[in-house]
Amino acid sequence: MKIFYTIILILLPFDIYSQSPTHSDNMKPRVEVSTNVGSFILELDKGRAPLTVENFLKYVNEDFYSGTIFHRVVQGFIAQAGGYDENLDAKEVEVNIINESGNGLSNLRGTVGLARLNSPHSGNTQFYINLSDNLDLNPRPTRWGYTVFGNVVNGMEIIDEIGHVSTSAKGSFERNVPVDSIIIESIELLSN
């Protein structure tokens, strides 16, 4: 009988936890990204990428992203933002976070990922949205990938519009900077 009660006590918290609507809502927070060309909504996956989502939401809560631009747009590949202002000056960031690319989420069209340098654990504030399926960005047994931490759930037409803008060299960037700035006016956490 003691074993039976022990099993019940072990399983009970998981049952309550999995059925809690508050828990599931908190694990899939949504943010609205407002730009000068329109708005879109991202749903973040805190269950699969907890460190990345926590980091992203920290910067959202600090209003870090207001005034940043989409500084890299490669048609049919990605639209990248979150690190530079309209003058292409880099915004100051705190620390890099651990790469969570082995979380089972794939770089498919409409997903959002954490941009980084060649070093696998160099991501911080910059993010990208996949304009097509980019499976080469996924991890492999021999190398790290790029962490997917959410997806576009509303406004993909705005992302497609951004993905087709004219780009050129600008400032210290050799290419892929939108000719007309695409400015993030705000990113706001939506209430569940």
Stretch among 5-14, 32-41, 181-190 having the lowest mean pLDDT? 5-14
Question: How confident is the model over 105-123, as a mean pLDDT?
Answer: 97
Tens of pLDDT, residue by residue over 18-67, are 333 344 558 999 999 999 999 999 999 999 999 999 999 999 999 999 99
What average pLDDT does the segment 102-116 reach? 98
pTM of the model as a whole? 0.86
- pLDDT by residue (tens digit) across 134-156? 999 999 999 999 999 999 999 99
Q: Please tell me which residue, 18 or 100, carries the higher pLDDT value.
A: 100
Domains and CATH numbers, the chain: 27-189 (2.40.100.10)
Distance in angstroms (rounded) separating the CA atoms of residues 189 and 78: 23
